[in-house]
Amino acid sequence: MYSTVVSDVGTVRSNNQDSAFAGEHLIAICDGMGGHAGGDTASTIAIRSLAHIEQDNVDGDVQVVSHMMATSVMAAHDAIVGKAKRERRLAGMGTTVTSVALVAGCWVLAHIGDSRAYLLHDGHLVRMTSDHSYVQHLIDTGRISEAEARNHPQRNVVMRVLGDFDIDSRPDIAIRKAHPGDRWLLCSDGLCGVLEDSTLEEVLSTCADQEECAQRLVSMALRAGSTDNVTAVIADATLALDADAFDLPHQTPLVGGAASASLETIADIVNEPVASAPPLREGKQSPAARAAALRSGKDPNEEPKQPEQRVAQPSSVREDNGDRVNTDTGEIPIVQKRNGRISADPNDPEVAKAIRNEHIEERKTKRSRKFRNRIITILIIILVLLGVAGVGVGTYRWSQTKYYIGDNNGKVAIFQGVPTSIFGAKLSHAVTDTNMKTSDLPPSWREQLDQGISFDTYGEAKSHTRLIKKQLNDAKRKQEARQQEKAEAEQKSKDEAAAKQKQQDEAAKKAADQAAQTNKSGGDKS
């Protein structure tokens, strides 16, 4: 396929947080979020993670490519999380991802977030993605209409994106048969949020030139009042769906938006030259842009200076500090023949020999470099191991000058060393056991023993065990005394209760005797 991209910062934003890629086998749009330096970083990471699909040889396996796209998106999520943890200023950053790959006559679509993918097929525009947003949820549940969603106060709230937060990072994957004449539009919400689908269909159907079509869509979005970054990726299927097989012209991949600052890195990933996207030619003279120019003291009628397109070569061909990393630059060596003539014809035997010699020298250099790197790596590993061993021996020797009191199989014991371990090896061993059971100690003492009570000398540790034993014996005596006092008190209480009961029994008996005597006296009178 042939593709292009146009991305613009817009009329309000200070920086472009969109990133896009347009190649022969892969197109992608990523809309970043998360502050001045967060959104552009997140979207760039996502593009870098996907870019390798442009050149990966997968033997035309659709399932392999779909798996690669899913894992690349999730890998981008992990990279974003890791970078946010290392640089706290980037906390909260995230990005959408919408990408399409062409493989074996099929389109493979990966999507997460609220950027969109549209497919123009047989003159009809079909929206191929569903927004992972709050308003889309409201639309799907029948709470609001599509028209109401455009002006909803929470229309920018996304429910699934790649970011440093706990959200499912698995993208939606779809596979569709490709047809000659298929045209794709990938865009950020800065474009589809202000232009109707009918407008998109009309422009995509009537404007055959890819770049002109992308330019027109971005300009229209800005004139319609978009306050966001605006990015459009246009891709057309070739008639053959295989440019290489039919010797069709090769396209240099284009990188737009924030990711264009990483051209060299992306060129290394795809292992071929990449170029920055063409700048927007017109459409930024909106009322917002004029007002911003007036506030900054600039002439609102002055046309802004457009950045120039830039091309980056992969590291195998670009120079670094005057030395080429790889001598195989694709350049044909110039040879001066015996007759004095200069030749650069690759069919010339002497030129062909020079090319072979360059390749031989290159392979020798690579082998030498690999061997040197291997030796350096081995030496580093040996030094690290020796350092670790030295640290371990030194630590062990130092530990054996220390003592601590701890628990040894349920008994209080004196240990030589420190209560810790290195790489699973304990740095202590019991030297003296006592007859004291840890279960007899108070809870606070047992907690201290679990952690180890450290001393500088064995004598200090021994003295402390005697102190513990003395305190334990004192505690036992106090406990026994308390128990004795309690028993005596209970016995005294029992004795008092028995005496009281005896008195009550005697009084009751006396009363009964008196009553009986009274009854007897009464009977005698009668």
Question: Which phi-psi region, left, alpha or beta, contains residue 96 (left: φ > 0; alpha: ψ -120 to 50)?
Answer: beta
Record the tokens describing residue 147, joined without a space: 């028209």
Of 322, 345, 361, the last residue of a domain is 322
Whole-angstrom Cα distance, residue 145 to residue 143?
7
Considering the domain architecture, whether residues 394 and 414 belong to the same structural domain is answered as no
Separation in Å, CA 304 to CA 16, 220, 258, 300:
16, 18, 19, 9
In this predicted structure, what is the pLDDT of residue 461?
A: 80
Considering the domain architecture, whether residues 391 and 409 belong to the same structural domain is answered as no
Q: Is residue 520 part of a domain?
A: no
Helix, strand or coil for residue 499?
helix
Of 322, 356, 379, the last residue of a domain is 322
Whole-angstrom Cα distance, residue 110 to residue 256?
19
State how many domains the chain has.
3
Contact residues for 399 (Cβ-Cβ < 8 A; gap 6+):
417, 418, 427, 428
Q: Is residue 293 part of a domain?
A: yes
Calculate helix-pair angle for 210-223, 197-206, nearest 10 degrees.
150
Residue 45, phi then psi, degrees to nearest 5: -60, -45
Whole-angstrom Cα distance, residue 114 to residue 131?
4
Residue 90, phi then psi, degrees to nearest 5: -95, 5
**Sequence letter at residue 241:** L
In this predicted structure, what is the pLDDT of residue 257?
A: 93
Considering the domain architecture, whether residues 184 and 40 belong to the same structural domain is answered as yes
Q: Centre a 10 Å sphere on the Cβ of residue 381 and count the other Cβ atoms it contains.
A: 10
**Sequence letter at residue 222:** L
Range of the domain at 358: 330-399
Considering the domain architecture, whether residues 194 and 234 belong to the same structural domain is answered as yes
Q: Is residue 526 part of a domain?
A: no
Question: Which phi-psi region, left, alpha or beta, contains residue 490 (left: φ > 0; alpha: ψ -120 to 50)?
Answer: alpha
Helix, strand or coil for residue 300?
coil
DSSP code of residue 305: P
Q: Is residue 515 part of a domain?
A: no
In this predicted structure, what is the pLDDT of residue 142?
A: 73
Q: Is residue 521 part of a domain?
A: no
Considering the domain architecture, whether residues 156 and 262 belong to the same structural domain is answered as yes
In this predicted structure, what is the pLDDT of residue 341?
A: 47
Considering the domain architecture, whether residues 85 and 216 belong to the same structural domain is answered as yes
Considering the domain architecture, whether residues 463 and 351 belong to the same structural domain is answered as no
How does DSSP assign 42-59, residue by residue? HHHHHHHHHHGGGT---T
In this predicted structure, what is the pLDDT of residue 339?
A: 59
Considering the domain architecture, whether residues 490 and 370 belong to the same structural domain is answered as no
Considering the domain architecture, whether residues 240 and 290 belong to the same structural domain is answered as yes
In this predicted structure, what is the pLDDT of residue 322?
A: 47
Whole-angstrom Cα distance, residue 510 to residue 505?
9
Residue reference for tokens 């670790």: 388
Residue 389, phi then psi, degrees to nearest 5: -65, -45
Q: Is residue 382 part of a domain?
A: yes
Whole-angstrom Cα distance, residue 78 to residue 84?
10
The string of pLDDT tens digits covering residues 196-223 is 999 999 999 999 999 999 999 999 999 9
In this predicted structure, what is the pLDDT of residue 323?
A: 38
Residue reference for tokens 């502050």: 35
Whole-angstrom Cα distance, residue 117 to residue 119?
7
Considering the domain architecture, whether residues 472 and 487 belong to the same structural domain is answered as yes
In this predicted structure, what is the pLDDT of residue 59?
A: 65
Q: pLDDT means per 10 residues in the chain (526 residues)? A: 92 88 95 81 91 75 89 87 84 92 92 94 92 77 70 68 78 93 94 92 94 94 90 85 58 92 86 90 58 56 66 73 38 50 48 62 75 89 83 76 84 84 77 81 78 83 81 80 86 86 85 81 60
In this predicted structure, what is the pLDDT of residue 365?
A: 74
In this predicted structure, what is the pLDDT of residue 409?
A: 82
Handedness of CA 141, 144, 145, 146 (dihedral sign): negative
Q: Is residue 113 part of a domain?
A: yes
Q: Is residue 77 part of a domain?
A: yes
In this predicted structure, what is the pLDDT of residue 293?
A: 55
